[in-house]
Structure 1
Amino acid sequence: MVLSDRPAERHREIGRVFTDRVRGTRSWDVSSPVAEWTARDVVRHLTEWFPSFLASGSGIQLPAGPSVDDDPVGAWQTQCDAVQALLDDPATADLVLSNRHIGEVPLGRAIDQFYTADVFMHTWDLARATGQDDRLDSDFCAELLAGMEPIEQVMRSSGQYGARVPVKDDADAQTKMLGFIGRDPNWTPR
């Protein structure tokens, strides 16, 4: 994956789009393209894994927001705002995140590579589940795909990605990226 030299700006834009989809969600209990997940579970995933990843690797504790069960919009907004503040704060520019799987990585790069990219991919899940605009930035889709393909075995062995869904060779970048991460680009809600 091509990392941004401006992780705060990329998070701001990707977070804004995901926030729009969160705010546009009318039913949190609809199925999502991720097997056995609802729209609420998409937000739950993002608000549950990242705070512990950040805390264990950097000691940074994000402020706790409301429960995703009680207020998925508030839970997401609290986290999105806290991550943006962290990325915008000049005092955190030299911080490092340490993780046994990835080693020591500058904090902004770690957030960009692992979290912001995850938010980007899950934007499609939430949008598709809730009938909203599910178009993603095609250039970033192509960048992600190009970065993930060489490490496919590592990614698949993590258990975080489903089996690749075959797509046509001439498919657009979004379709190819979705198929790679185990999404059926033709999925529709039940």
Structure 2
Amino acid sequence: MGEIGDRYRRRAAAFERKVAAVAPGDWDNQSPCVKWSARDVVDHVVAMHGYMLGPVGRSFGAGDDPLKTFQQARVAVEEVLDNPELAAQEVDTPTGRMTAEAQIDQVVSDDLVLHGWDLARATGQDEAMHPEDVERLWRSTTSIPAEMMTLYRTPGAFGPDVEVFGPEVEVPADAPLQDRLLGFIGRDPSVRR
């Protein structure tokens, strides 16, 4: 596995630990994503794994157990990243053609970090993101051209019920980079649920 695979594996392991740590009574807790519970956050991440796998002819079994289902999705994505032919396969995406591994890196791998924060906030876990991920995501999100960012902030622009980022939330200029990143993508790091 290369850099993308290593990054995915590290992020997936961190997300899996959060899923495993959710107390049985916390699955219905409200997440920072207004329309989603803690369970909905995991269901979204799992669904996104499926979207990444479909174009390369792969899938995984789904079930009612969030942890087991995520683990199956994770294994399936890692198999793609471990296979040079599948990882290099060109796929169509809403932002153009790219390799399967690039799409996994830009979409589902990043989701693991951001939605890991959502899950942690919803279930009372450690919310600290890996500093390297915060810096990388800050650079990539703040470099998105304005016209594309408008699309990312427009509900439904990439399909029914798809919301990539919410409206930017103002945070103090001297706030930690993680808080500024969260505000930029539409999360309010000061609001506790």
TM-score (norm 1): 0.87
Letter in 2 for 1:131: G
Give the superposed CA RMSD.
1.6
How many angstroms apart in 1 are the aligned matches of 2:98 and 2:51? 16
Letter in 2 for 1:14: R
How many angstroms apart in 1 are the aligned matches of 2:114 and 2:153? 16
| Counterpart position of 1:111 | 104
| Counterpart position of 1:129 | 122
Shift of 1:53: 4.7
Q: What does 1:65-76 correspond to in 2, within 5 Å?
A: 65-66=62-63, 70-76=64-70
How many angstroms apart in 1 are the aligned matches of 2:82 and 2:122? 31
The alpha-carbon distance between structure 1 residues 87 and 46, as it changes in their structure 2 partners (threshold 3 A), is same
| Counterpart position of 2:72 | 78
Mean alpha-carbon deviation: is it higher for 137-146 or for 123-132? 137-146
Mean alpha-carbon deviation: is it higher for 78-87 or for 139-148? 139-148
Q: Does the 8 Å contact 1:93/1:108 carry over to 2?
A: yes
How many angstroms apart in 2 are the aligned matches of 1:76 and 1:183? 24
The alpha-carbon distance between structure 1 residues 143 and 52, as it changes in their structure 2 partners (threshold 3 A), is closer
How many angstroms apart in 1 are the aligned matches of 2:88 and 2:19? 32
Could you say what secondary structure the match of 2:70 adopts?
helix
Q: Does the 8 Å contact 1:87/1:108 carry over to 2?
A: yes
Residues 88-143 of structure 1: CA deviation (Å, up to 9, x unaligned): 123324312123x2222011111001110011110000011111111002232122
| Counterpart position of 1:175 | 179
Letter in 2 for 1:25: V
Shift of 1:29: 1.0
Q: Given the alignment of the two structures, is residue 165 of structure 1 paired with residue 169 of structure 2, yes or no?
A: yes
Q: Given the alignment of the two structures, is residue 8 of structure 1 paired with residue 2 of structure 2, yes or no?
A: no
Letter in 1 for 2:3: R
Gaps of 5+ in 1: none
| Counterpart position of 2:47 | 48
Q: Does the 8 Å contact 1:136/1:174 carry over to 2?
A: yes
Residues 13-42 of structure 1: CA deviation (Å, up to 9, x unaligned): 000000000000002111111103111000
TM-score (norm 2): 0.86
How many angstroms apart in 1 are the aligned matches of 2:19 and 2:38? 9
| Counterpart position of 2:160 | none
How many angstroms apart in 1 are the aligned matches of 2:84 and 2:99? 13
How many angstroms apart in 1 are the aligned matches of 2:98 and 2:130? 26
Q: Does the 8 Å contact 2:168/2:185 carry over to 1?
A: yes
Gaps of 5+ in 2: 158-162
Shift of 1:176: 0.6
Q: Considering Cα pairs closer than 8 Å and 6+ residues apart, tell me whether 1 or 2 has the greater RCO.
A: 1
| Count of residues paired in the alignment | 179
Letter in 1 for 2:116: T
1:95 to 89, 93, 99: 89
How many angstroms apart in 2 are the aligned matches of 1:142 and 1:180? 13
